[in-house]
Each structure stands twice: as structure tokens, then as C-alpha cells.
Amino acid sequence: MFEPVLTSFVREPNSFTLDVSLTHGAYEGLRKAVTLQPGQVIDLVKASGLRGRGGAGFPTGMKWGFVPKDSPKPKYVCCNADESEPGTFKDHVLMERNPHLVIEGVAIACYAIGAKVGYIYIRGEFHHVSQVLEAAIAEARARGFLGRNIFGSGFDCDIHVHRGAGAYEAGEESALLESLEGKRAQPRLRPPFPAVVGLYGCPTVINNVETLANVPLILTKGSEWFTSLGPEKNSGPKLFCVSGHVNTPGVYEATMHTTLRQLIYDYAGGMRGGRALKAVIPGGSSTPVLLPDAIDAPASFDGVVKAGSMLGSAAMIVMDDTTCMVWAAENLIHFYRHESCGKCTPCREGADWMLKILHKIERGEGEMRDLDLLESVARNINGKTLCPFGEAEVAPVLSTLAHFRHEYEAHIREGRCPLPAPWRCGGGH
């Protein structure tokens, strides 16, 4: 039976304080790291098979290895705490209840790549979380876990919290750097990649909160322990967010052996009111919806791809049979239209057109040829944009069109939404 390690003590009172965290072994990973060579730390992380928890699942050790060792420039670590992907709230819990684990992870990453400063870029709405983090950093600094000459090793490291101000796109790594530099959160053209030219033009590693929180555990428990959890190439503990029409929505820690079905029916208490499952978005709003027949897939990076979607940020949005899928697609495209940074035309204009067409269909004013138009707009965004936001915003449209075309057609035939759920407002607005 798997015992949570990332969230093992988050329900304890005052779990966010240094004193409570120390009773659970906080900063032991950092203590061990500074006795090793930076290259050895990177090798350990490589051997663990840790893959990024921010969405793309890129191997973390490899990413750290791209940082040039001989660069005369300062280097930086940025912890991506933007957490704005609809359905995602795992970093929220980690930072709020176990901030020292995150801080320790950032410090070890700094040591491994040779950085002296780390920034935690947190979304502006998490005001209360940024206060928890600031307080935790101050405590760590006061007790010598941050600052100069950590554990007498000669390693100096400081960490700062930087608060965003309401922009989903700031979670995209190069847009995050722009935002940190005091500009609009709009992505940069790559290459060069941030590992070589990142923050202030210096080599920079950007990792998700949960990714970095795993690093101290790899140091204390070893990379074999890490690979022993979960399927091959999908190692380690994982946080899953389950929300929507389930009985007990929340963050659940498990291995990636766990299936989507177990997450919905065992961890999240099953469907609310015992209703039937209609569709599930497995990895945040940017990933294609899956039908109930796909939920026996393991919730791993590779398992969910095989099932026809992506693990993304491991954020499951569960919908029961009262949900109109055209309405759901419209809701998400409203999000993407609002959040498109506007830098490239297919994404900016395409989002607007997709919303317009979806709105028209949902209102009951659609025509059959709107479906082809919708699909053609989506296909003209896909693969033609500066950042992966483009692929993200077409996922809800193309996947609902593929699985629920009959629902779109019913809207058009009947001239109204055939499924106006009681939890919605009468008529779209």
C-alpha cells in the first residue's frame, strides 16, 4: 500500500511551520545534496526518472543537464507556481501546507545547476499562499537553511516569491520569464531555450512546484525507491486533482498505477447522487475529453496518452449525464479566449471565432455547416502558434466534436440546448 510522502502531514495543525516540518525530516535532502557534487545530484534526479509535473512530463534531470556548466553568467531557478490550468489545485495545497518541501526543492535545484537565486513565481490570486511561502522562507533563512554558507558547505542560496497578477499565459515558461522581468506575460520565440538564455538572458531552469517538491525525497530516499513507485518511465508519487460532479473532490496522492476509474470512484467518492459518468477531462482543460469506456487506463503520462488524451497537470474534471457537452466546450473556450496572450493571430482570432460559433450553437441558432466551420477554425490553429496554448485551446473543441457530434447536431436540429441542467442559468448569456 502506497503511503503519501508529498502530502503526508498536510492535515496536521501548523504543518506549514518550520518546527512541524522539521519533525518530518525537512531539509535533510538539502543537507545530503550539498555533500555531493552538483553533477551527482543531477545524475540522481536523472536516475529517478522524475518527469515534470507542470504539464509536458519532460524528464527533469535532462532539463537540468542542458544548463551550460561553463557559462560565466549567473544562473537562475524559477519555480512555476502559476497553477492556472482549469481543474488544477495541487500546487496550491503543497505550497500552503508543506511550503518547506517546495523551498527545499528549489534550493537543491539551485545547488545542482549552480544558481544562487531562485524565484517562486506564484499566481496573483494566491495571495494567502504567497504569505505562507514568504513566512516559510523567512523561517528557513533565520535557521540557516537558506542564505550564506548553507550547512557549512560554502553554498549560498536565496529564494524570493514573485507574485503574478492574473494571466494564465504566465504559466508558460518563457512567458513566466517575461512576467518576472516586469513585462506582459507573452512567450518568447525558441530556440534559444531558457536553459541557455532564460531570465535576464541567463541560463535558467523552470520547474513546476510539484516537480521540485519531489527532489528532496529523491535525495533522502534514493532514486531506486522513486522508480519503484509507479510504472516504468512514470515513476514517483503523484498528486491528482479531482473536481466536478464527484462526492469528495480534492487532491489525492497516489502512484501512476492508479486508474482514472479508481480516482473517480475510490478516491473521490464516486459520482454525486449516483448519477452516470458522461465524460472526464483527465489532465486539465487543455487535454481532450475521454468517454467512460476509457477510464480503466492508468493515470500515468503514457497510460493517458494511450487512452487518447494527456495526463497534463493531472487535473480530472468529472462530468455526469446532466452536462451538455456543447455548453462545456463553450465554457472552456470562453476561458481560452479570455486568456490568449494575443501575440499570434491564429490563437487570438481563432479563439474568438470558436467562441462565437459555439455560443451561436449553444443558443440554438446554429446551422449544420457551423460544425465544419468550427472544426476548420480549430484545425487552422493547431500547430500554427508560437506556444502550446494553441493546441490546448483546440482540445476541448476537437474532442467534443469527435465524441459528441450528435449533441451538437441535436442543438441545431431542435434550435435549443437539449440539456439545460438545473445547476445552470436559464439560457446562455
Ligand X SMILES: Cc1cc2nc3c(=O)[nH]c(=O)nc-3n(C[C@H](O)[C@H](O)[C@H](O)COP(=O)(O)O)c2cc1C
Binding site for ligand SF4 (CB under 6 A): 169, 186-187, 340-344, 347-348, 385-387, 389-390
22 binds ligand X (CB under 6 A): no
Q: Under the criterion CB under 6 A, does residue 389 sit at the interface with ligand X? A: yes
CB of 340 closer than 8 Å to CB of 385: no
DSSP E strands in 69-200: the ranges are 76-81, 117-122, 147-150, 155-163
Give the nearer residue to other proteins in terms of CB position, either 43 or 96.
96
How many Å apart are CA 288 and CA 321, to the nearest integer?
18
Alpha-carbon span 313 to 127, nearest angstrom: 22
Contacts with other proteins in 99-128 (CB under 8 A)? 119, 123-128
Question: According to CB under 8 A, which one of 345, 368, 376, 415 is a site residue for other proteins?
Answer: 376
Task: Report the C-alpha gap between 172 and 125 in whole angstroms.
Answer: 17
> Which listed option, ligand X, ligand SF4, other proteins, none, makes contact with residue 171 (CB within 5 to 8 Å by class)?
ligand X
Q: Give the residue, chosen from 29, 38, 54, 346, that forms a contact with ligand X under the rule CB under 6 A.
A: 54
Residue 359's Cβ-count burial label (10 Å; 0-12, 13-18, 19+) is middle
What is the C-alpha separation between 199 and 420, in angstroms, rounded? 48
Q: Report in angstroms how near the CB of residue 346 gets to ligand SF4 at its nearest.
A: 7
| Cβ nearer to ligand X, comparing 87 with 249 | 87
55 in contact with ligand X (CB under 6 A)? yes
Q: What is the DSSP secondary structure assignment for residue 263, as one 8-state letter?
A: I
- CA–chain centroid gap for 138, Å, is 26
Joined together, the cell numbers standing for residue 343 give: 501575440
178 binds ligand X (CB under 6 A): no
d(CA 427, CA 420) in angstroms, rounded, equals 8
- In terms of DSSP bridges, do strands 155-163 and 250-255 run parallel, antiparallel, or are they unpaired? unpaired
CB of 393 to ligand SF4, least distance (A): 8
Minimum distance from CB of 181 to other proteins (Å)?
A: 6
Nearer to other proteins, 34 or 175 (CB): 175
Q: Which three cell numbers stand for residue 144?
A: 540557516
Give 330's Cβ-side CA count (13 Å radius).
17
Closer to other proteins by Cβ: residue 48 or 287: 287
Instruction: Tell me the closest approach of the beta carbon of residue 352 to ligand SF4, in angstroms.
Output: 11
Nearest approach, Cβ of residue 292 and ligand X (Å)? 28
Q: Which does 69 bind (CB under 5 to 8 A by kind): other proteins, ligand X, ligand SF4, none?
A: none
Minimum distance of other proteins from residue 215's CB (angstroms): 22
